[in-house]
Structure 1
Amino acid sequence: MQEITPAEVEALDGPVILDVREPHELEQARIEGAIHIPLGELVARVDELPRDTTVYTLCHVGGRSAQATVYLESIGVDAVNISGGILEWYRQGLPVELGSTP
């Protein structure tokens, strides 16, 4: 499984970020433009993801997104886990939206 740091993802031009956290977690912090599919719904909703580009997976600290990455790789999606999740993203001072979802 490949991993990438939050800063490396943020430096990319238009990365596709898949957030696999639960809806209530998005109320605390989220990344603008990320695709939200909770891990428990990923198998049923995988067709919502692009197949022609790398998908960068994210959760709270990296465990669930690692599971998502392994699954996506197993079905042929180029997927990379964002190490440390949104917690590390926030710690590195990268942009997040805080508060309730729009």
Structure 2
Amino acid sequence: MSYELPSPPANLPTEIVNTLNESTPERLRDVATYAEALAEHKEGESRLEKSADQDEVEERPDDLPDDVPSKATITTKEINDNRYYYWQWRDGEKIRSQYKGPVNPNE
């Protein structure tokens, strides 16, 4: 362990460097933990924004109803020995479905 004061990054504002230099080791560890968690959160938000931008660019399938989001996928459900297609998507904590039509057994 070095007893010399470490050099701060050049792009760190002086007022932050001064505040950190005046802080206790416990507070510095708390700041480090918070800064790491905050960085991960902001990186995650950035990825979500990029993903949302890409989703907006994607074209909607021609047979997608107006009230079904473009992120919906097609699933198959069997009811009374008959198979049907449904649009399905996540809406918050819920899974939503909308009827698409019967499955053609010749496909």
> TM-score, normalized by length of structure 1?
0.23
Higher strand share: 2
> TM-score, normalized by length of structure 2?
0.23
